Amino acid sequence: MKRGLKQLGIVPGKDQKYSLWEIAQALYSHNGLEEKAKQAKWQAQIAEAKLKELRLNHEASRLISTDRLRREWDDAVTTLFTRIRHHPSLSDAEKRQLLLGIETDFEKRFK
């Protein structure tokens, strides 16, 4: 018990005795390490649960790989450009303007 009193910085009074309050503090108070350990344990469990959820989502195809996303994006852009280039009611100037606008927007957003 004296060690607990010492850890809390409690020193005996003039009569070299401790009060009941000081003894209770030594017996029942925590120095913070136990609370920090509990918090660390909870944080680790939360992180583990989030990781499991990401893995499950990936396995359920709710998330896709960056390679697959890139392929899908490239296909969509190619389709869009092809449709604009071959659109019968657009003039060549309008087609160039649309394609240049798309390229400019893409460069601003993703590079």
Q: What is the pTM of this model?
A: 0.37
Domain count across the chain: 3
Can you tell me which residue has the tokens 């136990």?
A: 34
Report the run of H or E that residue 97 belongs to, with start and end. Answer: helix 92-110
| Same domain membership, residue 56 and residue 71 | no
Return the DSSP state at 100: H
| Same domain membership, residue 38 and residue 15 | no
Q: Which domain holds residue 37?
A: 32-63
Alpha helices, DSSP H, located in 19-90: 20-28, 33-59, 66-85
| Same domain membership, residue 86 and residue 57 | no
| Same domain membership, residue 21 and residue 50 | no
| Same domain membership, residue 9 and residue 49 | no
**pLDDT for 61-108, tens place per residue?**
777 778 888 888 888 888 888 888 888 888 989 988 888 888 888 777
| Same domain membership, residue 11 and residue 1 | yes
**pLDDT for 30-70, tens place per residue?**
666 677 788 889 999 999 999 999 888 877 777 777 888 88
Q: Report d(CA 7, CA 26) in Å as an integer.
A: 8
Residue 48 falls in which region: left (phi positive, over 0), alpha (psi -120 to 50) or beta: alpha
